Structure 1
Amino acid sequence: MSPTPTPEPPARGPGSLLLDDQLCFALYAASRAVTARYRPLLEELGLTYPQYLVMLVLWEQDSISVRELGAALQLESSTLSPLLKRLEAGGLLRRERRPDDERSVALRLTEAGAALRERAAAVPLAIGDAMGLTTEQDAQAKELLRLITANVGGGREA
């Protein structure tokens, strides 16, 4: 019986198949960790993370079309529709046909949706503290992630 050959140590660097060398895994793990950190904060507001993203856009720009919201969040309308229905059922937004274009639906905050903004103000601060980044590191991370999104997404900006 011949001895089993000793496997070569895995190669590091470009082309490596080591898990720790995969940028995609680092992004995946970071995304899961950050989303998990958001969960208890958003539960206090009665929101899921995707619903929070919708509300962020509406707090920035009330009266936006579903198409514009989808573009801002890089989501298809089929993904947005259930989110919007739940937010509307929760009394946070209204969907209205635009008078100038009956085919287009405008999203508007309700009073409750607008008031939720004040309660949500602590969320970015808590997440920022949890991340432990300096202001410069935060800006660099966002810049790199936007570049990756634009490059991988076929030139779409994040």
Structure 2
Amino acid sequence: MATPSSNPLHQVPRLDAQLCFALYSTSLAMNKLYRKLLRKLGLTYSQYLVMMVLWEQNEQTVSALGERLFLDSATLTPLLKRMEQAALIHRNRCPNDERQVIISLTEQGDRLREEAAKLPEQVLCASGCDVAQIVDMKETLNTLRASLMKNA
């Protein structure tokens, strides 16, 4: 007869066997690497994400930025205020709809683009992976995120 401790259904899950912990600890390691690399640019990781969206297409609404970055306006607004104080972005009310705020790059924010363009290669080197592995991993994670968001 099986005892509760020998029954696999009653065993406490091992930390190292958990996908959530692998994702969490990898995220911590990635953020630590980015913190080191972004210090030279004077950006936090969250600010870097906002800048990347604006470098792709300048003049975005706060809601469009939030959708792209999976952030709500309560999280995004203080971040954008700090970025405006650092002269990286401008925040202006939309003339056609006062409820919307348009975020655009300043010249100083736009100038960071060239330095930031070097980061992906540095991260690739630090990862110890080749480009194909990174692409596959990213696609797998995007699929996982989409599935989890459907069930959240």
State the TM-score, normalized to the length of structure 2: 0.90
Residues in 1 aligned to 2:50 and 2:15: alpha-carbon distance in whole angstroms: 33
Residues in 2 aligned to 1:121 and 1:140: alpha-carbon distance in whole angstroms: 21
- State the aligned residue count: 148
**Equivalent position of 1:26 in the other structure:** 22
Deviation at 1:81, TM superposition (A): 0.7
Between structure 1 and structure 2, the one with the greater Rg is: 1
Write the deviation string for residues 17-57 of structure 1: whole angstroms up to 9, x where unpaired: 11121011100111001110111111111111111111111
- Percent identity between matched residues is 47
**Equivalent position of 2:110 in the other structure:** 114
Note if contact 2:59-2:105 (Cα within 8 Å) is conserved in structure 1: yes
Corresponding letter in the other structure for 2:80? L
Question: Which sections of structure 1, spanning at least 5 residues, go unmatched?
Answer: none
Greater helix fraction, Structure 1 or Structure 2? 2
**Runs (4+) of structure 1 moved beyond 3 Å?**
none
**Equivalent position of 1:41 in the other structure:** 37
Deviation at 1:144, TM superposition (A): 0.7
Corresponding letter in the other structure for 1:112? Q
State the TM-score, normalized to the length of structure 1: 0.87
- Across the aligned residues of Structure 1 and Structure 2, the Cα RMSD in angstroms comes to 2.1
Question: Which sections of structure 2, spanning at least 5 residues, go unmatched?
Answer: none
Deviation at 1:97, TM superposition (A): 1.0
Deviation at 1:155, TM superposition (A): 7.2
